[in-house]
Chain A
Amino acid sequence: MNTAQTLQRRRRWAEFGTAYGFLSLWLIGLFVFTVWPFAHSIYLAFTNYSFDPQYEYVGFANFRRAVTDSLSLKSMDVTARFAIFSVPLRLAVALFVAVLLNKGIKGLGVYRTIYYIPSLVGSGVAVAIMWRRVFGRRGLFNNVIGLFGASGQDWIANPDTARLMLVLLSAWQFGSSMLIFLAALKQVPNEMYESAEIDGAGVVRQFFRITVPLISPVIFFNLTMNIINAFRVFTQAKIITNGGPMNETMFMVLNIYNQAFRFGNMGYASALSWVLLLIIGAVTAVNFVGSKYWVYYETKAR
């Protein structure tokens, strides 16, 4: 009995050991590449480190600057506005196209491919360069609208439209959200629509009464992921507008990059990173709390 117990215990410990063995690569990575940088970043945020081996503790000065400095505030404003416009636009287009594709249509595969391709390449440098030229003063877009007699402007250089061009670029990549919606829509039982039709509910009413509530968990998921992604915009802002004109596209991540790698304010940049993280956390939390009021989970069915 006793030996059996020890044997069992030993076996269990061996199992723990094996598990941690399998986990070890990830655990090492977690501590070296995430936890340590994280801790270091907190420390740095309280210093004026700028590559110089001699630096000082500056207390909350960096954080104070992060929430009072006009450029930092501007970058928050710019990022928030971008998120507010781009996320709903992208989701709305994605959902709309997904609904159209859902009702049994020929050539679904072709459409799906066409709409997904922009998502594949849209976040890269090549598309960013292309976007910059397409919407430039002598760009493709102005030439197209020129055919209809309209005269364009430089959409990238104009402070009123520069960010809008980035919003459009983001909306253009609605493909992956669309695919997720499409999969969710397939789960909605057809009988629900049929019975609604018998009750005389129109298409719009069906959409808001049946479709939206039933796929609300997926909408919520897409919303959360897209908001987080909207806060991470960098490549497009760096290449298409480089933050300008008038800092209208100075996104938070671009500002952090500039502060750290252009101006050498590593300490301040660390504080800005923390502010960014807190904002993303707060927005996500609000999103989660808000979701209670509109996301419908099918708990009873299970």
Chain B
Amino acid sequence: MIRSHWTFRVALAVILVLLAAPIFGAGRSEKAAATDEQITLRFSWWGGETRHNAYQDMLELFMERNPNIRVEAEFSGWDGYIDRLRTQMAANNQPDVFVAGHDGPWQVLPLGARADIRDFDIDLSAFNDVQLDEITSYDPAGRLTGIPVSESVRAGYLINATLFDELGIELPKSDWTWEDMAEIAQLVYDRSGGTVHGVLDESAGISYGSFGRRSWDLAAHGAAISGPDGLTQTAEQLRDTYRWWGALRDSGAATSAEISVQADDGANSPIVTRDAAMMSTALGSYSRFQANTPDDLKMIAPPDGRYPSDEIGAGISTQISSQSRHPQAAAALVSFLRNDLDAGLIFGTENGIPANRHFREALIEQGLDAGSQVQFDVHNWVVANREVVSFVGPHEAHSEFSSLQRAEEQALAFGRQSIERTVEKIIEHARNLGM
């Protein structure tokens, strides 16, 4: 009995010592690392599996070339990415390098958290001046707060070509209208005997899509909403679009609320589960969806006619933290990611068509893979045939607004709320948030 007391106490003491050691040890080793020239950088992005893999491959190459720099990846899905960056920035704990945007929802991120790219020795010659100027224009101090990642239109329409083939329906072309789309969607539903919906319902609170971006617009054009004209116009537009999608939903052409609500950017996307034959998505997301399904996916430009056409903007960029303790190493990483041809070839079109013109040329020269080809085709077609508008204006409460709007739209899709009431409440939310 006495011996067991002893072993117990000795064990307790040993555990205590062992466990105390790592805390102090860890703190010391980090300090030691800094003086040893061994630098650790943090780099964050969002995306799906294919993008994660591309970035990790690039980082491995970078670390191989810069043995004194270790890059720690902080990656996640899209949901909550901005919010997390924002919280990190508030705690002065943002990664040394991160991928982020400038407009729309990104405006919640404080400008001061980003360093001026021009302070570093980074070659900007391969980038489009218009894009660089636009990024510069977001900062009142005129600093260049990021290097653009891609230069492409934002959205495309994914088509499950295998499904179309099985149902004996001809694939739509990029010059289609929203009416064409509705017709084709209905055909899909009817021919499949009601097992496949034509298109993912974009009015049911999904976070991305051509119409999904109407909500984005609504949040972005906050100032317009509160004006007497802007408000009625937006309300009228909203009612109109809800009516349009509502009709598709009722006839089965668009997905039922149950499917739309659960739709996500990956394995549970209706185009992967074969619940819908078409859906809107970001151009750069093509390969992610294709990676998830054995079916053959195609992408064309979103329909035109009823809703505003697509935009090209500053898009997203690679940015350096103003709080970085190793700004030069961070700059080296950014330079590598966006200027080094090897990196560019690994990344391909993971985030849309690369903004660096050498990357584009190299990709074409190397021979585009199917996923990249699709993106180039859609992009080139839209630029040649559509009036491309620039993405405008911010509202800081975007995140909150869109989550409120999502719930209202879900209520509408489930038939719990009239269009009139839905629009009323959405406008009310916008007003409450000072938009």
Contact = CB atoms under 8 A, between A and B. Distances in A.
Question: Does chain A touch chain B in the assembled complex, meaning CB atoms less than 8 Å apart?
Answer: yes
Interface of A: 51, 69-71, 136-138, 153-154, 156-159, 242, 244-247, 250, 258, 261-265
Given A245-B414, A261-B87, A154 B258 contact: yes
Contacts of B80: 262
B258 A246 contact: no
B400 interface: yes
Query: 10 tightest CB-CB pairs across the interface, nearest first?
Result: A51-B90, A263-B400, A262-B83, A157-B262, A247-B407, A157-B261, A245-B261, A246-B410, A154-B258, A157-B258
Contacts of B425: 70
A137 B399 CA distance: 28
A246 B414 contact: yes
B261 A263 contact: no
Contacts of B258: 137, 153-154, 157-158
B261 A244 contact: yes
Nearest to B432: A69
Contacts of A246: 407, 410-411, 414, 416
B114 interface: no
Interface string B228-272: 000000000000000000000000000001110110000000000
Interface residues of B, number: 27
A63 to B, nearest CB: 16
Contacts of A159: 410-411, 414, 416
A136 B258 CA distance: 10
A243 to B, nearest CB: 8
A264 B85 CA distance: 11
B79 to A, nearest CB: 8
B86 interface: yes
Interface string B75-110: 000011001001101100000000000000000100
24 contacts: A51-B87, A69-B432, A71-B404, A71-B407, A137-B259, A154-B258, A154-B259, A157-B259, A157-B261, A157-B262, A159-B416, A244-B261, A244-B406, A245-B410, A246-B407, A246-B414, A250-B407, A261-B83, A262-B80, A262-B399, A262-B403, A263-B403, A264-B90, A265-B400
A202 B332 CA distance: 82
Contacts of B79: 242
Nearest to B87: A261
Nearest to A259: B400
B410 A244 contact: yes
Contacts, number: 64
Given A137-B258, A262-B83, A263-B399, 12 more contacts: A51-B89, A71-B404, A137-B259, A154-B258, A154-B259, A156-B262, A245-B407, A261-B83, A262-B400, A262-B403, A263-B403, A264-B108
Contacts of B397: 263
B390 interface: no
A156 B262 CA distance: 8
B293 interface: no
Interface in B381-420: 397, 399-400, 403-404, 406-407, 410-411, 414, 416
Contacts of A157: 257-259, 261-262
B403 A258 contact: yes
B110 to A, nearest CB: 8
B273 interface: yes
B416 to A, nearest CB: 7
Contacts of B404: 71
Contacts of B411: 159, 246
A144 B89 CA distance: 48
A269 to B, nearest CB: 12
Interface centre among B90, B259, B432 (most CB of A within 10 A): B90
A157 B83 CA distance: 24
Nearest to A138: B273
Contacts of B261: 157, 244-245
A266 B70 CA distance: 35
Nearest to A160: B414
Contact of A154 (B87, B90, B262, B416): B262
A78 B296 CA distance: 43
Given A159-B414, A246-B414, A262-B80, A51 B86 contact: yes
Given A159-B416, A246-B407, A136 B86 contact: no
Contacts of A242: 79
A246 B204 CA distance: 10
Nearest to A74: B407
A265 B433 CA distance: 11
A154 B259 CA distance: 8
Contacts of B83: 261-264
Contacts of A158: 258
Contacts of B87: 51, 261, 264
Contacts of A136: 262
Nearest to B268: A136
Contact of A244 (B89, B273, B407, B416): B407
A265 B411 CA distance: 25
A137 B262 contact: yes
B50 to A, nearest CB: 22
A138 B267 CA distance: 12
B203 to A, nearest CB: 14
A158 to B, nearest CB: 6
A265 B396 CA distance: 12
A251 to B, nearest CB: 14
Nearest to A71: B404
Contacts of B90: 51, 264
B259 to A, nearest CB: 8
Contacts of B407: 71, 244-247, 250
A9 to B, nearest CB: 35
A253 to B, nearest CB: 16
Contacts of A138: 273
A263 B90 CA distance: 13
A55 B89 CA distance: 17
A139 to B, nearest CB: 11
Contacts of A250: 407
A37 to B, nearest CB: 16
B414 to A, nearest CB: 6
